[in-house]
Structure 1
């Protein structure tokens, strides 16, 4: 099914049900459907056609949700862009995907305008929200005016194997790459995830993650697919305000990333069961340390906690059924429904349990490839077990236990070679997170003339009295000697990507730059 039909169907069946809640607006399904149809008509009237690429350069606002469905109703492909994106990166994306239109906000128009000029591309249709003066910025037409168009169905003749979205990777290892996802692959991913999360139309999901981040984006797509309600917030900077929102709206689902979990666990005034409406918590972007899982389960008794693993190229790969948390600490579980996950060696042969190898994913939710990047596509999508298919080589190292449950070892590129040994940073981080005085930590290799690389760690303390020696002694009790960090640096915060994920690359650069 095409994604926009999720909305059309739910608006017909439950027009008055609340679809979206933001700080300044509540939209029922009928209103969300109507507004997106009006904007689609405006896009079509301004030349946007089937398979054109439209950038949605906004923060988490109701206009962004309307824009996503409007682009799809026009038959085009949307590309969500993080609101913190700078002009040079935006210009690259504009040129890379040959952007036909940009939907944005007044506060972001200076960046959008600079990027349009830098890209050298002309004829881009730009629509923007009004600024503080209630005026549309120069260089754009008013998004409000677009929403006055007559709502009507556009006969774009699109089908479900057309591209629904082009979502760009962070570019942490080079230029951003556009991940191509069809309507069919998005539908398959949403169906699989909502199945194991046991989502229903009665769910009220709170999302603080950027809609430009696929984990945040899918909260919207899954909610609309189900006919559930999404509470959209801009950030988790003030957790107490978010908690109050959860209580006010009776939120049942809370998607987290590890940095959010760390913030919650540093708060001292929380009592178990303080958010009684919650039914489940999910985590992805990076694995939750086992110590954090245990503390979250203490704070949220009776709440199902889903530890998951995924990547932009297929949305989600694995999940750990909550009943397995005690039996398989550290595992990210099994393949999501209607998906296969297996671990292979460098020759592509499946390895036995306990042996580390590259994780490979097979399923209908796998991307079509990277936009206009055949070389990167060929490295990542390779022939599968059947002659008609390609499977996704994730670049991540995993191992399985005897029952086939998966354990993340590390990214191939992250493995640190020290004293002739190979060290997976995640193993060291797990020990660091188990220390009660450590809130967050990231481990990297630091160039060393003798060792090749020394193990270094950036650490955020929850107990300000712990010292570098305390941390090293703790690690020495639980790790082999060559895995114990030789360099410890205490910081007030860790470097993060736009999506809130701790950046190992930036952490390594910080440690190398330190005097």
Structure 2
């Protein structure tokens, strides 16, 4: 096992002049990225930053975000990447709770981070990238000029224990403050090696990613590329799919990681033949269930690329994957457990179940988090000692069914199960049924109060222009494909679904 920054250093030694990062019109070699991150690490060290200190990063996807992530690790500190859309009140609360020593940010977000500073509490040093701002306090500093020609001072990367914290990743959170997931160098190095092995990722790969680096699925693309010697082509977002496809085609991307929303946008484009995507060999999906109908469309419209469906959580990054050769044969499955980990199902009393049953998924391995930052109660609810091995295991909170060979099929979050007419309904199963209808782009299903049923099933549906679908069409389709108690009593057509900062559809805000 190696420290994360040591994995990067290995790639620097092996291929120093190879392009490591393409972003914002810049092309940085492994050597150049190494030099820039070293300079930032030295600045952090001079400010007294040491092992275990927390550093907040509020930056768009870009060169500076990549440099900052590696620099913090090289200084022995702990990265805390925040989504640039984070509001000031939440940013202030999270930085205070984690006692952040430094905030690395950009001038375009000055209104947010200055408002967060005014909330009080701990006042970290703020380093700001970009023009159009002037320091308002002695704690605000201009981003160091890492491109300036200068003789570097002697520097050695920090040596910390493999179980030292590398990252605190905050979950999106539906109520209260997000949980701070504590991930060590061992956690992240082990899962990075595992993912690189099963995909596999090669040194000659070009990974195109428009996923935010503040999101574990996005961060894992950076870790994969820089640890294997592959090239990362990083975009700020996928808001303009045609522009993203231009970049993918020009850079001859070979790997495209995406979430279902991005794939829906891609499939919404009528003529993909406008772009030469023949270099693409692999598409991966994670973060949210990828509808079976969308999987089929992707395979039909992009037959040159293999599709790998994956499942995981922030608390351990990845738990299972469905190999491309199994996607058509096992519709709806998220695969089987990873090499080097153990996973099993338990009933409501915590007893192990045999494969072929339904229950909550439990996972065990080097990739499982150390716990939640300063939250022993929720840590104890999630982690427990497995009496069979004496090792820590984690309850996922997700319900699955499995076949006798251990292939997993997601049912629902335990907290999302709808109880209606005395029956239990999986929102995911209803969503999958509706998403098979021609003209449906995406949907969410949830409970709404009902005087007779307790809760009734409601679907919020986004449809393509000109689909002509009405409520009775959706209900008839569900009656033909689902048990009666699972059929939505109400259907609402909406222009778009609300989303979390990481892009997942959310029921919050739907009425």
For Structure 1 versus Structure 2, the TM-score category normalised by the shorter chain is over 0.9
| Structure 2 unaligned blocks of 5 or more | none
1:469 aligns with 2:472: yes
Q: Which residue in the other structure is 2:493 paired with?
A: 490
1:408 aligned counterpart, secondary structure: strand
Q: Which residue in the other structure is 2:39 paired with?
A: 38
How many residue pairs align between the two structures? 505
Aligned positions of 1:114-193 closer than 5 A: 114-122=115-123, 124-131=124-131, 133=132, 135=133, 137-139=135-137, 140-145=140-145, 150=152, 152-154=154-156, 156-193=158-195
Quick check: 2:74–2:157 contact (8 Å CA) kept in 1?
no
Q: Which moved more, 1:302-311 or 1:265-274?
A: 265-274
Q: Which residue in the other structure is 1:89 paired with?
A: 90
1:10 aligned counterpart, secondary structure: helix
Q: CA deviation at 1:173?
A: 3.6
Quick check: 2:278–2:304 contact (8 Å CA) kept in 1?
no
Q: Which residue in the other structure is 2:102 paired with?
A: 101
Q: Which residue in the other structure is 1:55 paired with?
A: 56
Q: Which residue in the other structure is 1:443 paired with?
A: 445
The structure-2 alpha-carbon separation of the partners of 1:385 and 1:98, relative to structure 1 and needing over 3 Å to count, comes to same
Q: Which residue in the other structure is 1:501 paired with?
A: 504
Q: CA deviation at 1:41?
A: 0.5
Q: Which residue in the other structure is 1:22 paired with?
A: 23
The structure-2 alpha-carbon separation of the partners of 1:61 and 1:395, relative to structure 1 and needing over 3 Å to count, comes to same
Distance in 2, Cα, partners of 1:331 & 1:99: 40
Q: CA deviation at 1:155?
A: 5.9
Q: CA deviation at 1:373?
A: 0.6
Calculate the TM-score normalised by the size of structure 1. 0.95
Distance in 1, Cα, partners of 2:332 & 2:16: 43
Q: Which residue in the other structure is 2:308 paired with?
A: 306
- Cα RMSD after superposing both structures: 1.6
The structure-2 alpha-carbon separation of the partners of 1:136 and 1:60, relative to structure 1 and needing over 3 Å to count, comes to farther
1:347 aligns with 2:320: no
Quick check: 1:273–1:300 contact (8 Å CA) kept in 2?
no
Q: Which moved more, 1:171-180 or 1:366-375?
A: 171-180
The structure-2 alpha-carbon separation of the partners of 1:475 and 1:106, relative to structure 1 and needing over 3 Å to count, comes to same
Distance in 2, Cα, partners of 1:286 & 1:272: 29
1:65 aligns with 2:66: yes
Quick check: 1:204–1:231 contact (8 Å CA) kept in 2?
yes
Distance in 1, Cα, partners of 2:57 & 2:500: 19
1:411 aligns with 2:413: yes
CA displacement 1:112-131 (0-9 Å, x = unmatched) = 12112214213x11101122
Distance in 1, Cα, partners of 2:354 & 2:119: 52
Q: CA deviation at 1:154?
A: 3.9
Q: Which residue in the other structure is 1:223 paired with?
A: 225
Distance in 2, Cα, partners of 1:287 & 1:19: 31
Q: Which residue in the other structure is 1:457 paired with?
A: 459
Q: Which moved more, 1:334-343 or 1:230-239?
A: 334-343
Quick check: 1:55–1:80 contact (8 Å CA) kept in 2?
yes
Q: Which residue in the other structure is 1:367 paired with?
A: 369
Match of 1:194 among 187, 196, 199: 196
Q: CA deviation at 1:15?
A: 1.0
Q: Which residue in the other structure is 2:482 paired with?
A: 479
Q: Which moved more, 1:249-258 or 1:384-393?
A: 384-393
CA displacement 1:104-154 (0-9 Å, x = unmatched) = 0101122112112214213x11101122x4x55534211134665835424
1:37 aligned counterpart, secondary structure: helix
Aligned positions of 1:235-250 closer than 5 A: 235-250=237-252
Quick check: 1:306–1:319 contact (8 Å CA) kept in 2?
yes
The structure-2 alpha-carbon separation of the partners of 1:274 and 1:211, relative to structure 1 and needing over 3 Å to count, comes to same
Q: CA deviation at 1:417?
A: 0.5
| Structure 1 unaligned blocks of 5 or more | none
Quick check: 1:106–1:137 contact (8 Å CA) kept in 2?
no
1:510 aligned counterpart, secondary structure: coil
Q: CA deviation at 1:464?
A: 3.4
Quick check: 2:187–2:368 contact (8 Å CA) kept in 1?
yes
